[in-house]
Amino acid sequence: MIHEIDPHKFNNEFKVVDPKVTDFVIRYNGSKTLLKKIGEGYAIPQVGELLALEGKALTDFEGHYLFSIDDTAFFLDDSKGTVEAEAPAGYEYMGSRTFRGMNPVERMGGATAAHIAHWESLNKFCGKCGNVTIRGDHERSIICPKCGNVVYPRISPVVIVAVRNGDKLLMAHNIDNPNPRLFLISGFVEVGESLEQAVHREVMEEAGLRVKNVRYFSSQPWPFSDSLIAGFTAELDGDDTIHMQKEELSEAMWVKREDIPEYETDVSISCCLIENFRRGFTVSC
């Protein structure tokens, strides 16, 4: 899954670090990240590359440290005018899904950095009194110096579930997912719900089915939607007639184990759950 980057080590300890020219820098414009075009793909620019484009020295760098992977740090660009700036030649502003096509370190680091950048962009002003906010100096937080309101990074809980019916798996396609492949039922946890209650509700809402024997499988960060996803398995309880929620799904069906194609498990827990069923419950992720 996306956070499994062994033998590389992710270190998100909150601290102050001076940049190196080889460190990565995230220049975020409120919804997209500046990325370097390389052939048919993209890469995260390094501090030295962006400084060279602007004729600046390392001492002119305006940004703050986010975290490190091994000895490479990730910084968020704080330079003025970032939101309005156009992409320089050879670079493009791209959505966070672009990170999914990168190598494991840039995929994990870039998407996580964009998650933090998105959170910061939404909290430039205090939601309580409207005053301009500042960054916390001893933990990852945003503080209002006027009223003292403190905001921490937004991490929204999500559940995803592999519902089995004998040798068949409930698979679906969300209308907002650009990937045409079938995946699993998932959704955000509502206020006042347990994770297990959210599983029951989501399956009923999206497929009109009841489930039983809900069991925890694993979890993963999912920075593309500011989320932490908890994965579950469950069994059909009763009638297997699907009543699809057309506002959320374009497809929902029971798929036999032998008809499920292989899914790569290096990014998402959804693929891990599908592979666990397809291979006869031998994948743990």
Query: Is 51 a member of any domain?
Result: yes
pTM over 0.75: yes
Looking at the structure, tell me whether residues 79 and 144 fall in a common domain. no
Question: Is residue 82 assigned to a domain?
Answer: yes
Q: Do 110 and 81 belong to one domain? A: yes
3 part of a folded domain: no
Choose one of 105, 122, 139: the last residue of a domain. Answer: 122
- Please indicate, yes or no, whether residues 182 and 140 belong to a single structural domain of this protein: no
Tell me, yes or no, whether 128 and 118 share the same domain.
no
Co-location of 273 and 166 in the same domain: yes
Q: Judge whether 190 lies within some domain.
A: yes
Mean pLDDT of 39-49: 95
* Number of folded domains that form the chain: 3
On the question of pLDDT at 85 being above 70, the answer is no
Q: How confident is the model at residue 281 (pLDDT cuts 50, 70, 90)?
A: confident
**Are both 142 and 185 inside the same structural domain?**
no
pLDDT score, position 80: 62
* DSSP annotation string for the chain: -TT--TTS-EE---------TTSEEE-B-SS-EEEEEETTEEEPPBHHHHHHHTT--GGG--EEEEEEETTEEEEEE--TTTTTPPPPTTEEEE-GGGGGGS-HHHHHHHHHHHHHHHHHHTTSB-TTT-PBPEE-SSSS-EE-TTT--EE----EEEEEEEEEETTEEEEEEETT-S--S-B-EEEEPPTT--HHHHHHHHHHHHH---EEEEEEEEEEEEGGGTEEEEEEEEEE-S-------TTTEEEEEEEEGGGPPP---SS-HHHHHHHHHHTTS----
On whether both 274 and 164 belong to a single domain, the answer is yes
Question: Across residues 65-88, what is the average pLDDT?
Answer: 84
Q: Which domain holds residue 213?
A: 156-278
Looking at the structure, tell me whether residues 232 and 246 fall in a common domain. yes
In whole numbers, what is the pLDDT of the chain averaged over residues? 94
Residues 213 and 249 both lie in one domain: yes
Reported confidence tier of residue 82, pLDDT bands at 50, 70, 90: low
